[in-house]
Structure 1
């Protein structure tokens, strides 16, 4: 060996760095010299010094976190959601008998529209259910069908256009008229006031059966309210001028309450990220029937386990990994941040993360006061909750945002578990509205893409609009044939004519900008109406076209009728799509919950209705 590599004092040479080198580490692996690999694969350890040498080789002696956690004691403070308040509603006790989605999203069923019966499928279902419930007492089928019948539509009546204009609706209504019972009419009568009985004004029902029928009537009302969940009058969370839901709930914490508020919920998937902590409110109020005080403080002893996933690299050198996983062939792009974090976790920090199995109840609010961690060397550490500071650079998971929280203020580290369901079945849209901006006409249009038919099913709005217009035109033509002997209108020989305005399909509902009351700058959108233009209509003031979706009919069903306003910012340049459909899920007690819920999504951009005023157009053929 050359003399320059002979070191007399290795300790002094290392301290003074007299011989700088590049150190590389090799893999330790068995090299068998026999055809049989059984002994080589055992990776036998015959000397404890080998383990210490391996730790020194991997640099574990230089780390301060070489000890793994053995036991953990968690100090946990829990409470439960106790009060609930819908938008503009009163404070009620939090009800866990149904999912929170159902309680927030439920909307009234469209059983009537302009005092006309709708949802014929539900009406027939209610009628069949009532007759089945009352049949064990006596067979009063004919009496109830006569008292609460499905009325036959009149093809020559203008007020029956919502039925007769559509062939499938007219056929169904004509088939069941006078033969089936309208169960919704009976339900409306029973719930319309006190002292009402199902046998009122039916003389054929025997007096001995009155008591039994009253019991059946109570069970019938309860059955319908259970089959379809609808909100009470003061518990509707839908905010029509925002086209979204708004609600708040609170849980007692200490001497006050922690109030959670959801101002803009429209996604259809309710979870913790939809709510914000409102520290400006210390309580939602006291309901009429408050629940017992739900606060609890406990200490749990748990055993942490390492976090792992299928195919993750094993940190022990003698353990073989799954050959189907090859991290060397992963080629992430520059924007694949999630893939890079995934690889770094598996390759670098795999043995640094541990999982503590802590079980919490749905509808609870939990706060971890801290954890006492004991490692394998017997050392104990007290770990407080991370992310208490609300710095804008901070990133955290499952952390609630604080409403109006400024820089430097403390964040909320509570863990909120809402009583929601993981899966909801959603039916076809009963109604769907597309809100688009028309820059040429300088207005917003509510295009009814799907409208609810009286049968209870949805139909494309453009088809329904064309059928309705054709029905009114047919009635007008028949009236003109009877009441007009000859046309007195002058025949023009001009090749062009002047049109005051063009028309749009009846499923296009206009929204015009108006000033906010008391403000000469801010504007909002108000629902307007287009005239129904019919050829030969002698009426100087044409009828107004009203929307046929409950989403745009807000105020038309009220007494007296009210205007419908929509905030300007709710219709962005991309537009918005709002729909309503039936939702169905199963709750923890096995019950099936059904409700009518609304959704809002981003639109597909601007549109043009083709509406124009003061135009010169070519005369129709035959008028020249």
Structure 2
């Protein structure tokens, strides 16, 4: 062991450091106790304990109850499970625990057709490839050319001279995709719809088989194909499970559970946030039953004993004197502003009352309701205390505060509901890019509401900005009109105008702006609602009557694609001055058994305020000579 070397003149060594650059110096200041005994230093002695006692008396710290730490607890809890689910105004059904509740509530039918042309070409091709794989695996690959050329399953190439196909040929990416797949790929969605339309339909209908024994094989493949698709996407069966309310642009559903021989009903009337939990539901005492059979209700009471455990969280003060807290959460590093009262209260609550919370574990299955009937706690002094719910009392008492409690619907002052609702939801959902984006804005100048299609779905399955798609469609219709004129279409002659000004009846708006005009409710002269209307598509030089511009988003085309088109009404109070933004996108999550669920869901949020379309009537404008000559040339 080397002997200790004392440096008598440290300044001399520092001055000579340039001559010896490899020499490293350390200099540390540390306390040195006067004695070798550390007992007194660890006592943390103070000189004036009476002064500290007086300060404690002044701050009221002596005004407390004798309280001991809990060492034993016994809880009596009544539990019941959800048995019914009702989407919107549809009939009630059995509560399904095999899927997350978000997928059950938010599921929407996938768009496959719109405005007389196909949509979701990517999914159609995916389904077609899957069916051809099934045929190949069964040794029936020789049937592939027949399915590719079948009139129902063949992807048709759009006609560039047809106005009805202008929605396809107006966008280059869509036109190229359809032309590339025409005659080379199969439309699997049409096969699925054909099989689901009637039980008597078979996948080999219209197909020439070499052997009649292949019919049994193809029927087995058809059942496998239908099951594969329905597991791939979670969507309502023929609209029966659709909880979406187009008139309010939100979801509405109800769940119920048996309780004390009756039925406890909880309703969600305004769900649109995309995150579903207990706070979206309210207890509805006015409804007695959702109808239908209750199945096998699971209701009972349980009494269990526990050893309470102190709650710990990051950054909480340690109870030991000479123990340092970890620095992951440092409450002392928080720098609140003068208005951050809530932040200061949270800091005080976490620092002062950190050791006053204890945990009594109790496991519950998802989709259940738990009601703590009472909690008996025994402390270190042997005292037994009966603890009741902190949020009990009147539901309208403004001083009542509780966590995770459901609100009670109605105007009556009733007893608060202190039960705990544990819904079968997931903590995280992956959301894709919006397939549709719709803005509802108020236009004070035009005194109406506009539905602006910010993003519209294309036939390929992708989306495109609505204003860009509208310009492309209008340009395509103009080029088709030019081709019709060259083919001999009679165009009315436009007389030569000698005036310098002209009268314009109405000024146009972009094609992605759909008007929502106010109309009176039936038998009511005061209340109004918004009805979807249409703007005319005016193409200069077109001898045909102007067409009505129809929306291209599924959300705004409500009722248009039915056999008999139906009007669409929207409640006027659903569109505030700030406007609303509605998006429809694919959702994906994984359930507790590892199964993946994909569905199409809608979300609504506040928009960016009012807007102006520039719509004007009865305008006097100068004559555009170049436009007049162009029309005469056309």
Q: TM-score, normalised by structure 1?
A: 0.89
Question: Counterpart in 1 of 2:235?
Answer: 230
Q: Does 1:532 align with 2:533?
A: no
Q: Does 1:395 align with 2:398?
A: no
The 5-angstrom pairing of residues 292-371 of structure 1 reads 292-322=296-326, 330-371=334-375
In the aligned structure 2, how far is the partner of 1:423 from the partner of 1:323?
Answer: 28
In the aligned structure 1, how far is the partner of 2:577 from the partner of 2:62?
Answer: 61
Cα pair 1:580 1:596 within 8 Å, conserved: yes
The 5-angstrom pairing of residues 438-477 of structure 1 reads 438-477=443-482
Displacement of 1:493 in angstroms is 2.3
Which SS does the other structure have where 1:566 is aligned? strand
The C-alpha deviation readout for 1:448-481, integer Å capped at 9, x for no partner, is 0000000001100001000001111111122123
Displacement of 1:488 in angstroms is 2.8
Question: Counterpart in 2 of 1:282?
Answer: 288
The C-alpha deviation readout for 1:292-337, integer Å capped at 9, x for no partner, is 2211211111222223322222344444445787756654333212
Question: Counterpart in 1 of 2:575?
Answer: 571
In the aligned structure 2, how far is the partner of 1:226 from the partner of 1:325?
Answer: 44
The range that moved more, 460-469 or 359-368, is 359-368
Question: Counterpart in 1 of 2:77?
Answer: 76
Cα pair 1:258 1:277 within 8 Å, conserved: yes
Question: Counterpart in 2 of 1:92?
Answer: 93
Give the aligned length.
583
Which SS does the other structure have where 1:345 is aligned? helix
Query: Relative to 1, partners in 2 of residues 1:347 and 1:589: Cα closer, same or farther, differing over 3 Å?
Result: closer
The C-alpha deviation readout for 1:256-296, integer Å capped at 9, x for no partner, is 11101000000000000000000011221124xx5422112
Which SS does the other structure have where 1:447 is aligned? strand
Displacement of 1:235 in angstroms is 1.6
Question: Counterpart in 2 of 1:244?
Answer: 250
In the aligned structure 1, how far is the partner of 2:321 from the partner of 2:554?
Answer: 66
Question: Counterpart in 2 of 1:173?
Answer: 178
Displacement of 1:347 in angstroms is 3.3
In the aligned structure 1, how far is the partner of 2:176 from the partner of 2:372?
Answer: 64
Which SS does the other structure have where 1:601 is aligned? strand
Displacement of 1:114 in angstroms is 3.6
Query: Relative to 1, partners in 2 of residues 1:255 and 1:201: Cα closer, same or farther, differing over 3 Å?
Result: same
Query: Relative to 1, partners in 2 of residues 1:329 and 1:105: Cα closer, same or farther, differing over 3 Å?
Result: closer
Question: Counterpart in 1 of 2:624?
Answer: 620
Question: Counterpart in 2 of 1:584?
Answer: 588
Q: Does 1:141 align with 2:144?
A: yes
Displacement of 1:212 in angstroms is 1.1
In the aligned structure 2, how far is the partner of 1:486 from the partner of 1:392?
Answer: 74
From 191, 197, 202, the equivalent of 1:192 is 197
Question: Counterpart in 1 of 2:277?
Answer: 271
Displacement of 1:64 in angstroms is 1.9
Cα pair 2:529 2:572 within 8 Å, conserved: yes
Which SS does the other structure have where 1:397 is aligned? coil
Question: Counterpart in 1 of 2:555?
Answer: 551
Displacement of 1:36 in angstroms is 5.4
Gaps of 5+ in 1: 1-30
The C-alpha deviation readout for 1:404-437, integer Å capped at 9, x for no partner, is 1433x20110100110001100000001100001
Cα pair 1:315 1:350 within 8 Å, conserved: no
Cα pair 2:314 2:329 within 8 Å, conserved: no
In the aligned structure 2, how far is the partner of 1:36 from the partner of 1:466?
Answer: 90
Displacement of 1:189 in angstroms is 0.7
Q: Does 1:132 align with 2:133?
A: yes
In the aligned structure 2, how far is the partner of 1:126 from the partner of 1:331?
Answer: 57
Which SS does the other structure have where 2:104 is aligned? helix
In the aligned structure 2, how far is the partner of 1:484 from the partner of 1:146?
Answer: 35
Cα pair 1:113 1:557 within 8 Å, conserved: yes
Query: Relative to 1, partners in 2 of residues 1:447 and 1:72: Cα closer, same or farther, differing over 3 Å?
Result: same
The range that moved more, 514-523 or 485-494, is 485-494
Displacement of 1:556 in angstroms is 0.4
Query: Relative to 1, partners in 2 of residues 1:43 and 1:208: Cα closer, same or farther, differing over 3 Å?
Result: farther
Displacement of 1:205 in angstroms is 4.8
Query: Relative to 1, partners in 2 of residues 1:66 and 1:597: Cα closer, same or farther, differing over 3 Å?
Result: same
Q: TM-score, normalised by structure 2?
A: 0.88
Cα pair 2:115 2:552 within 8 Å, conserved: no
Question: Counterpart in 2 of 1:513?
Answer: 518
Gaps of 5+ in 2: 1-30, 630-634
